[in-house]
Chain A
């Protein structure tokens, strides 16, 4: 079985400060990992993914994430937060060693960036 944990319901950060949104995962095989963002009344928007290779993945809007196999983590980071980054962030995993197409999502972390 595959699962994702996002331990923080909400993260608050001041504009201009670095931000981190945490994600840990569990799969029986090797993981594909994804981050999505959801703005109010909108669908999920793809930010970045880890498939293989370099553990540091760069994505849209200045976001990046670091894959850490030993800690089974895939934390989302940004060096300098913007007020417009305030949204709901979802981490998702897919076990690449199964035939299933399904993504398993975390419960989401609400990011609030204060001016």
Chain B
């Protein structure tokens, strides 16, 4: 596997379910990100981990809980979601640098909350 991978690619869940999204990067990077992409809206940054420490959190509801156990893996734990949480969830990674690091994205998990 190369680049950034995400599993599952598609997920349907009820509002009372608990599920987790997984992201793995094979690029040797040390920063990882979760973004939400909804129809007709710009990508929204949810969380940033740098060197496995959460460094940014864009006021995301507590029903989304990130976990970064090491520099290669990132999880997004989901519980009691709402239908408006249906979206494409994108993971990205980058190598922290002094100048203009590039974020590389995975293919995303398309989530449908019923």
Asked if residues B106 and A51 are in contact (CB atoms below 8 Å), the reply is no
Closest to A45 in B: B105
Q: Which residues of A contact B103 (CB under 8 A)?
A: 34, 46, 103
Q: Is the CB of A32 within 8 A of B105?
A: no
Query: Is A44's beta carbon under 8 Å from chain B?
Result: yes
Q: B3 — nearest CB in chain A belongs to which residue?
A: A43
Within 8 Å CB of B78, what residues of A?
Answer: none
Chain A residues closer than 8 Å to B41, beta-carbon distance: 107
A56: Cβ under 8 A from any B Cβ: no
Q: Which of A51-106 contact B (CB under 8 A)?
A: 51-52, 90, 94, 96, 100-106
CB pair B99 A52 closer than 8 Å: yes
Complex interface bits, B23-58 against A, C-beta within 8 A gives 1, otherwise 0: 000000001010000001111010010100001101
B residues in contact with A94, CB < 8 Å: 100
Whether A43 contacts B90 in the complex (CB less than 8 A), given A106-B42, A107-B41, comes out as yes
Cross-chain contact A105 with B90 (CB below 8 angstroms):
no
A43:B107 contact, CB within 8 angstroms: yes
Q: Name 6 extra pairs, CB < 8 A, besides A34-B103, A43-B106, A105-B42.
A: A36-B105, A44-B43, A52-B100, A101-B31, A101-B96, A107-B41
Measuring CB to CB, which residues of chain A are less than 8 angstroms from any residue of chain B? 4, 32, 34, 36, 41-46, 49, 51-52, 90, 94, 96, 100-108
